[in-house]
Amino acid sequence: MKIWDKIVEGVTRLANGESFGSLLGLTSPPADDGAHPGLRQIAFTIGVIALGAKMAGVDGEVSENEVAAFRDFFQVPPGEERNVERFFNLAKRDVAGFETYARQLAALFPDAPEILENVLEGLFSIAKADGPIDVAEAAYLAEVSSIFGLSSARFERAKAAALGVVECEPCTILGIDPLATDEQIRDAWLRQVKANHPDRLMAQGLPEEAITMANRKLALINDAYDRLRRERGLVPA
């Protein structure tokens, strides 16, 4: 069964009263994920949709801008928009707390924090879609980051990537000090490129939506590196 066929099946089961959390549990990949191709992709997709829906509803109402922001960051496949929208609306009404889904995603990628960072960046984008991030939204983002086990540097980088409101945005994105040497900047750039390269994520069996997130982050990383090089006169402005 194709991934999105499984998602559609999930929509039907939710509409019939089954809990969202039970779906997530059923799609949890076993230790030997290689023997069950697609389970990690399904669990990732369900978890991200759930967290996005919970993020949009954390301030009490889900705005059209927040839904549009989710579609933009998740890059819904052509022809699947209606199914994702139905899943999104059902997930935001699910009684299970967002912590359930955050823990699921954290368990999926214990050694790939860059993937979780990309998800957090998307949640920041949803939070800002209807105006300044409020106290409830900020608390949600901080708690998700904590459950993901992300460092403060990764939290700030996800925030900067989505909001662009730091003194040295390129430095934050690359995870370096503004006084870093040229060599340190290059080393940081290479580390980020390696960690976020789409080929690496594809090898982990992630869905196209996760690869799209990685491509977007990679473009941001390359842009940050180019901006710092221009500022330092290492390349023509």
- The pLDDT value given to residue 34: 47
- CA-to-CA distance for 13 and 27, rounded, in angstroms? 13
Q: How far is CA 235 from the centre of its chain?
A: 32
Count how many domains the chain has. 1
Q: Has residue 108 got a pLDDT over 80?
A: yes
Q: What percent of the chain has pLDDT over 70?
A: 78
Average pLDDT over residues 23-40: 52
With H, G, I as helix, E, B as strand and everything else as coil, classify residue 172: helix
Does residue 184 form part of some domain? yes
Q: Quick one: tokens of 96?
A: 């299970």
Highest mean pLDDT among 121-125, 146-150, 162-166: 146-150
- The pLDDT value given to residue 25: 56
- The pLDDT value given to residue 11: 63
Does residue 78 form part of some domain? yes
- The pLDDT value given to residue 203: 77
Confidence grade of residue 20 (pLDDT, cut at 50, 70, 90)? low
Does residue 236 form part of some domain? no
- The pLDDT value given to residue 148: 96
Containing structural domain, residue 211: 3-231
Find the length of the chain: 237
Does residue 210 form part of some domain? yes
Does residue 24 form part of some domain? yes
- CA-to-CA distance for 208 and 65, rounded, in angstroms? 23
- CA-to-CA distance for 203 and 95, rounded, in angstroms? 34
The answer to whether the beta carbons of residues 92 and 57 sit under 8 Å apart is: yes
Reported as half-sphere exposure (CB side, CA atoms, 13 A), residue 123 has a value of 32
Does residue 50 form part of some domain? yes
Confidence grade of residue 73 (pLDDT, cut at 50, 70, 90)? confident
Does residue 219 form part of some domain? yes
- The pLDDT value given to residue 215: 87
Nearest residue to 21 via CA among 109, 97, 86: 97
- CA-to-CA distance for 118 and 207, rounded, in angstroms? 14
3-class secondary structure per residue, 71-89: HHHHCCCCCCHHHHHHHHH
- The pLDDT value given to residue 1: 46
Does residue 164 form part of some domain? yes
Q: Has residue 5 got a pLDDT over 80?
A: no
- CA-to-CA distance for 23 and 68, rounded, in angstroms? 25
Q: Return the CA Rg of the chain.
A: 18
Considering the chain, what is the average pLDDT of its residues?
79
- At 183-219, the pLDDT tens digits run 999 999 999 998 888 888 777 777 777 788 888 889 9
Average pLDDT over residues 166-178: 79
